[in-house]
Structure 1
Amino acid sequence: KTLSQHIQHLKVSLSRTLDFFPPLSGRLATIHHDDNTTSFFINCNNAGALFVHAKAYGVTVSDINESGYVPRDVVHSFFPLNGAKNYEGTSKPLLAVQVTELGDGIFIGCTVNHTVVDGTSFWHFFNSWSEISRGFDFVSKPPVLKRWLLDGTISPIRIPFSKIEDQVSDKYIGNIRVPLLKERVFHFSKEKIAQLKAKANAEIQLENTKRKISSLQAVLVHLWRSIIRGSNGDLDPDKESSYRLLIGARSRMNPPLSQQYFGNAVQAGTVTIKAREVIKRGLGFVAWEMNKMVALHTEEKLRKFLECWVQEPKLLTEGNMAANALVTSSSPRFDVYGNDFGWGRPVGVRSGAGNKSHGKITVFSAVEEGSIDIEACLLAETLEAMGNDSEFMDAVTV
């Protein structure tokens, strides 16, 4: 097959895959109520997803995959609908795919509306697409499309119009100076991760508990400490520094939600510590604080959060993100390198421009089983300082 035939095959297989995932080919719809509230729902009207075929023959796979720093302008151009907001899903596609021909390969970039799916559901869709592309007639793990709602919840949920006005206005972003940001990928091998995990757990040596600091918690705190060291005095050591994680809810429910539950089933959790303490108290102490925060996110806490949110919805905007916060998205548990569209496994993964600001940390599994790639979006000077931080880089494979 020619490359053009392969790309046409991708388009056809995408269309067939969407038959199993109807929300992704729909649009958001609204209901305006007499009490100045609005409700949103997904109208599965088969309006379609966007498919773009682009060419960038001057770019090679190694230009992207073998560069420590991400060529942001190039990589971000491989994703469609840059700058689109979630609420624009009433008129814009909820899923957009761009297949870009490179000099020696292809890049498949996806943009998806986060009101429709979380990371688990996105990779479920992407894994299923690769199956259909390989010739499957059906997806091996059909999505569960039935909605889960709290008992007694008024459906659809009503959001005060004033909150929606805040979301769509530009008052949060009108006068913000955009700093010089760069993105860099740090690779942690399976062996280095095991060393960090062992070090963190050895430092706390807790008795009467079976809980242990996880590999990911150890790696993220190792990163956090280096970011603070690399702030070059811009961060007051007595100010609080926060790390925000997205915590999966499917397995925390009783009975558990299916891993194939299609939608959003996550809750944000934050651990906050003074910057000075993050450095002074060491890897184990900070990682254990993160571990305790995650452990507190029980089914009871999740239900209480949802009850409160329904009563007083809070919409996330750029303006209400803490200045000294790191935010991690994605997960090394997502099956990235198992995706085979019929011509072999992928050789790399990068994320697009969506939700990128100082402190955005994206975590992926790496090519080697058990290893992790961390894509860090930070101030240029912070990333440079981290590259010169011997304590941090000792755990990084260059």
Structure 2
Amino acid sequence: MTRIRHISTNTIRPTNHNDQLIHRIELTPWDLRLIQLDYIQKGLLFQKPAELEQSNSLIQHLQATLSQTLNIFYPLAGRLAVIENEDNTTCFYINCNGDGASFVHAAADGVKVADILDSVYVPDDIVNDLFSMKEAWNYEGISKPLLAAQVTDLVDGIFIGCSINHTAADGTSFWHFFNTWSEISRLGGYDKIYKPHPVLGRQFHEGVIDLPIHLPSSYVNEIKSKQLIIGHGSSSDSFQRVVFHFPKEKVAWLKSKANAEMGTIDSNISISSLQALMAHLWRAITRGRHLNPDQEVAYRVAVGLRPRLNPRLPKEYLGNALLGVIVKCTAGELLEHGLGWAASQINKTIASLTAEEARKYMEDWVKAPTFLSNMLGATNVELVTGSSPRFNVYGNDFGWGMPVAVRSGMPERKLGKLTVFPGPEDGSIDFEACLLTETLRAMADDAEFMEAVLT
């Protein structure tokens, strides 16, 4: 176990918290259904330039620029709040009270950048400790910070890990925040940045649902009780996380192959690069799992809703705007057909998520609320993909250069979780995959799968 030494912990508040700000932000069904899950945890690994002094002055600079970033993203400096109503219902909202974010300065003694990057296997004994709030539930945002940043000194590098309460932000909002902080750090002030400010209003939901949402108090008691019995990212030795790197030319080759098989090249229903890549992984993992042909397999894909709604949600909307769609078939069907068939099933299922479907989901949810479970990995037949290769990950320059890698924290260590990121080279795509050790061994011997992976 790598020893992470905590040097200091501070509370960072906005520098300009004032009465002109919005004080209460309502939570939508997209936010509330995540309340019993973990925080989002993503972080960036940087090489340490020789001229960069990793000293208190750098930490003070990052703290000061985080404070300036919270002037813009001030809801992340607040807390979740609960109102118990007389009709035996409960309302949640974000109280923009300026209580602050957590900032941890730490050191990973003896750990080098190469210790994280030299193997396709993610060294969880190192990476998990590069984040604070490792075992926080979204529900706990009532008393805990909605945002926690940890800056960890390595021998020859720096890791900046952020944990954000998932009821307050999705991946799009997470990286909007990270991009804004890095730009403020690089340019030396929030008055110099070019990034648009987050959109905080909830007027986009008017006419669809009434806010605030009143949850039966029995639901809240259920959420509290499940906190005690549902685990966070597992420490099991039976599965591991790896990073599969797909170079630009291999991504293009898979896309071309899938569309050629289905006759959809240059059509309005063409298969995307990501869909072809997900199909490639789905088929290889299913082969590696050695399932019975009649065993049903499922692939859940998180789909962003901002461009799908009518009218569209602004890209800068701060909150959650995504839904999962599920592609199902039998293991036999998936492997008997080619890459194109699997990709087309993903393509058609994603296309079926229309603005009307999203609206109906919100209306139905208010009538009968359901909450996502943290129990991913209960069976060895399901996959889940989150995140996006479109996020601006490698553009985060805090003033000493671009990152060399992105890594996730403990919440992503769940069997069957496939987290997608842009690769470090333009047009490349990385998948961080958590799978059984024997499945990974089988995939390493799978020539069809490995043909597209950079080793």
Equivalent of 1:311, from 351, 356, 367? 367
CA–CA separation in structure 2 for the residues paired with 1:344 and 1:310 = 46
Report if aligned partners of 1:89, 1:113 keep a CA contact under 8 Å in 2: yes
Q: Is 1:85 aligned to residue 137 of structure 2?
A: yes
Counterpart pick for 1:3 among 54, 66, 69: 54
Q: What does residue range 104-253 of structure 1 map to in structure 2 within 5 Å?
A: 104-134=156-186, 135-138=188-191, 139-140=193-194, 141-147=196-202, 148-151=204-207, 153-170=209-226, 173=230, 178=236, 180-206=238-264, 209-231=267-289, 233=290, 235-253=291-309
Residues 322-365 of structure 1, C-alpha deviation per residue, up to 9 Å, x if partnerless? 73221111100000011110001111111111143100011110
> Any unmatched runs of 5+ in structure 1?
none
Q: Is the deviation greater in 313-322 or in 190-199?
A: 313-322
2:97 — aligned with what?
A: 45
Structure 2's unaligned 5+ residue stretches are 1-51
* Structure 1 residue matching 2:110: 3-state secondary structure: coil
Task: Assess if the C-alpha contact under 8 Å between 2:152 and 2:158 holds in 1.
Answer: yes
Letter in 2 for 1:216: L
Whole-angstrom CA distance in 2 between matches of 1:296 and 1:303: 13
The 2-side partners of 1:157 and 1:9 are apart by 40
TM-score (norm 1): 0.95
SS at match of 2:65: helix
Contact 2:241–2:413 under 8 Å retained in 1? no
CA shift at 1:16, angstroms? 0.8
Does residue 1:331 correspond to 2:388, yes or no? yes
Which residue identity is paired with 1:159?
L
Tell me what 2:18 maps to.
Answer: none
* Conservation of the 8 A alpha-carbon contact between 1:172 and 1:319: no
**Alpha-carbon separation, structure 2, partners of 1:382 and 1:127:** 36
Match of 1:28 among 61, 68, 80: 80
Question: CA 1:317/1:168 → structure 2, altered by over 3 Å: closer, same or farther?
Answer: farther
Report the 3-state secondary structure (helix = DSSP H, G, I; strand = E; otherwise coil) of the residue aligned with 1:185.
strand
User: Is the 8 Å Cα contact of residues 150 and 303 (structure 1) preserved in structure 2?
Assistant: no
CA separation of 1:126/1:382 partners in 2, compared to 1, >3 Å: closer, same or farther? same
Alpha-carbon distance between aligned partners in 2 of 1:269 and 1:384, rounded to the nearest angstrom: 29
Distance 1:46 1:392 in 2: 49
Measured in 1, the distance between the counterparts of 2:154 and 2:313 equals 40
The alignment partner of 2:419 has SS state of strand
1:378 aligns with 2:428: no
Asked if structure 1 preserves the Cα contact closer than 8 Å seen for 2:243 and 2:432, the reply is yes
Deviations 1:150-182 (A, max 9, x none): 4152211112222233322247548x9956220
Matched with 2:398 is 341
| Matched residue type, 2:307 | S
Is residue 74 of structure 1 aligned with residue 126 of structure 2? yes
Q: How big is the shift at 1:32? A: 1.1
**Counterpart secondary structure, 2:369:** coil
- Equivalent residue letter for 1:143: P
Q: Does 1:257 align with 2:310?
A: no
Q: Kindly provide the amino acid, as one letter, of the partner of residue 145 in structure 1.
A: L
- TM-score normalised according to structure 2 size: 0.83
1:109, distance to aligned residue in structure 2 (A): 0.7
- Pairwise CA RMSD of aligned residues? 1.9
- Give 2:131's aligned amino acid: F
Contact 2:260/2:340, CA 8 A, preserved across alignment: yes
1:248–1:279 CA distance, 2 compared to 1 (3 A) = same
1:282 paired with 2:338, answer: yes
1:100 and 1:391 map into 2 onto residues whose CA distance is 39
What SS does the aligned partner of 1:268 have? strand
Partner-residue secondary structure (3-state), 2:427: coil
Question: Which one is further off, 367-376 or 176-185?
Answer: 176-185
**1-side partners of 2:216 and 2:412: how far apart?**
24
Structure 2 residue identity aligned to 1:137: Y
SS at match of 2:66: helix
Q: CA deviation at 1:237?
A: 2.5
Q: 1:102 aligns with which of 144, 154, 161?
A: 154
Amino acid in the other structure paired with 1:189: P
CA contact (8 A) 2:208 2:359 kept: no
Distance 2:271 2:239 in 1: 31
1:209 Cα shift? Answer: 4.9
Q: Is the 8 A contact 2:208 2:362 kept in 1?
A: no
Q: Is the 8 A contact 2:68 2:190 kept in 1?
A: no
